[in-house]
Amino acid sequence: MGLRLNLSGISKSYNGNIVLNNSSYLFEKGRVYVLMGPNGCGKSTLLRIAALLENPDSGSVNYIEGDSVLQNDISLKRRMTLVLPKIGVFNTTVLKNVAYGLRIRGFNKKELSDRASAALEAAGLIHKKNDNALTLSSGETQRLGIARAMVIKPDMLFLDEPTASIDSKNTALIEDIINRMKMEGSITVLMTTHDHNQAKRLTDRILGMDNGSISE
Amino acid sequence: MDSITEGLINALSIILSLDTELLGIIYLSIKVSSLALLIAALAGLPLGALLGLKRFPLRGGIISLLNTFMGLPPVVVGLFLYLMLSRSGPFGFMSLLYTPSAMVIAQGIIALPIVAALCHSAIVNVDPIIKQASATLGATPLQTTITIIKEARYGIMSGIIAALGRVMSEVGAILIVGGNIAGYTRVMTTTIALETDKGNFELALALGIILLSISLLINIFLHRFQKMGDITTKWVLWD
């Protein structure tokens, strides 16, 4: 059905240093948003708060489905995922890394293997499925992160600088995956990047972060 | 030099003869050390995991204590346990002194801090990003904990194997609480000590070779586990 995300008056500070200052925005379902801004302006903090991994000091994070505001519990958390700039690779095979999200959701072995293989195929990593994931290059690792997120078919996908420090070929592959997800229409994507051209290639909904607030 | 060579040849012939007394000693050594390790693992792994995963009062003190006890002198453990298990001691009524059970307890006490401290160290060395990655993919706190422990598995296994190596070669504590009784509490290390005293070097050397072989095997396993856990290290300082 898809989720809408309503951030309302989000503020956050660390050791007295204000990172987010009364940030508000309504993210509509099935759209791709790109958040831009200089380092340290609070983009990653906003993503972590929106992904329910961190609590704001004040303000509210509400997920809306239809007309109902959903309760912030594990079943809601499992409808979204955040791909970090350093994805955190488990010391096991590429396939098991991708299947992780399905395994913790209790999927059976067959479905787990089928869906993980399909995600690896889409990420161009199927030939590496039995390799230890720690042996992948940085570009492949980033694609693994995207595949690991895709496999759980989230309603809300947060991508924190998914193409930082990888080459143009891998960047194009990741953009292609994001575009395919956009076509499917039900997923809402919020990503951060420093590359304005990339932002324009992916969406016309480019947001800026300034003094801890979101601006259009 | 000739006597050493002769001793070694005789030792090898004792090993090859598969003498029942020798086999009995080896069997008891492995049984006592394995049981001690099992007890140490059952108590030490949860303790190490708790110390690695949770912050609580006295945590730092317990870690320091465990690290100190990793180098616990076996004779001190033997003495302490002797006092506890002797007839006048608080556990004297259990009649455990000079039994294989007392030896298991002694070796368990020696192995416990090694297992717990190395388990703790393996867990705290797991990259903190793993916890975040697990949470971003929808894991519950329990599932995240299991994932972290799984990531630390090679370090944890190294700790268990290191503890096995320590207890297999231990002599002081089991000599004191086991009494080195032939056919009952005599193990490889205590037999080596006794036979060397008696001047019977052949049997001592035979057991020494076997003990060394077991130690070598344990260390080969340890090295393999450490290599499996450190998959990204592909270079050496001197090629």
Determine, for residues A134 and B231 on separate chains, whether the beta-carbon distance falls below 8 Å: yes
Report the domain count for chain A. Answer: 1
Is the separation of the CB atoms in A92 and A132 below 8 Å? yes
> How many angstroms from the chain centroid is the CA of residue A73?
18
> How far off is chain A from B55, nearest CA to CA, in Å?
19
Give how far B132 is from chain A: nearest CA, Å.
8
What average pLDDT does chain B have?
91
Please report, for residues A121, B27, B56, B120, B157, the alpha-carbon distance to residue B37 in angstroms, rounded to integers and kept in the order given. 45, 15, 27, 17, 12
Going by pLDDT thresholds of 50, 70 and 90, the confidence category of residue B16 is: confident
Task: In chain A, count H helices and then E strands.
Answer: 7, 10
The answer to whether the Cβ–Cβ distance between A91 and B138 falls below 8 Å is: no
A40 in contact with B, Cβ within 8 Å: no
Given a contact cutoff of 8 angstroms between Cβ atoms, the answer to whether A120 and A147 are in contact is yes
Q: Is the pLDDT of residue B235 over 70?
A: no
Q: How far apart are CA B110 and CA B43, in angstroms?
A: 12
Indicate the pLDDT class of residue B219, thresholds 50, 70 and 90: confident
Mean pLDDT of B34-53: 96
* B57 to A79, B115, B148: CA distances (angstroms): 37, 21, 22
* Token pair of A173 as six digits: 């592959």
Tokens of A212: 């801890």
pLDDT (0 to 100) of residue A177 = 87
Residues of A in contact with B150 (CB under 8 A): 90
Stretch B4-19: mean pLDDT = 83
pLDDT tier at B3, thresholds 50, 70, 90 = confident
What's the CATH code of the domain at A79?
3.40.50.300
Per-residue pLDDT, B35: 97
The predicted structure's pLDDT at residue B230: 67
Give residue A185's pLDDT.
Answer: 72
Report the pLDDT value the prediction gives residue B223, as an integer from 0 to 100: 81
| Domains assigned to chain B | 2-229 (1.10.3720.10)
Name residue A208's amino acid: G
A contacts of B138 (beta carbons < 8 Å):
74, 77-78, 81, 101, 104-105, 152
* Mutation target vs A (from B127, B137, B233; most A CBs, 10 A cutoff): B137
**Per-residue confidence band for B237, with pLDDT thresholds at 50, 70 and 90:** low
Among residues A133, A170, A147, which one has the least CA distance to residue A83? A147
Give the residue on B whose Cα is nearest the Cα of A81.
B136
Chain B contact present for A29, CB below 8 A:
no
Q: What is the pLDDT of residue B203?
A: 86
Chain A (127-146) residues lying within 8 Å, Cβ to Cβ, of chain B: 132, 134-135
Identify the pLDDT of residue A108. Answer: 94
A153 contacts chain B (CB < 8 A): no
| pLDDT band at residue B232 using 50, 70 and 90 as cut-offs | low
What is the average per-residue pLDDT within B54-61? 94
Say which of B129, B138, B154 has its CB closest to residue A78.
Answer: B138
The tokens 């995956």 sit on which residue? A177
Nearest Cα of chain A lies from the Cα of B66 at a distance, in angstroms, of 28
Beta strands in A37-104, from DSSP E residues, in sequence order: 58-65, 68-69, 80-83
For residue A214, which phi and psi values (nearest 5 degrees)?
-90, 135
| pLDDT computed for residue B26 by the predictor | 93
State which residues form the domain around A176.
4-215
pLDDT tens string, chain A, 216 residues long: the values are 688 999 999 999 999 899 999 999 999 998 999 999 998 889 999 999 999 999 999 999 999 998 899 998 999 999 999 999 999 999 999 999 999 999 999 999 999 999 999 999 999 999 999 999 999 999 999 999 999 999 999 999 999 999 887 888 889 988 998 888 888 777 999 999 999 999 999 988 999 998 888 988
Which among A96, A98, A104 is the top mutation candidate for probing chain B, defined by the most B β-carbons within 10 Å of its own β-carbon? A104
Closest partner residue to A53 (CB to CB) among B135, B147, B229 is B135
Whether A90 contacts A97, CB under 8 Å:
yes
From chain B, which residues contact A within 8 Å (Cβ)?
127, 129-130, 132-140, 143, 147, 150-151, 154, 229, 231-232
Question: pLDDT-derived band of residue B21, with 50, 70 and 90 as boundaries?
Answer: confident
The model's pTM is 0.85
3-state helix, strand, coil in chain B (%, to 5): 75, 0, 25
Query: What pLDDT does A47 receive?
Result: 96
Size of interface A-B (CB pairs under 8 A): 56
User: How is residue A12 written in tokens?
Assistant: 């956050």
pLDDT digits (tens, 9 = 90+) for B127-137: 999 999 999 99
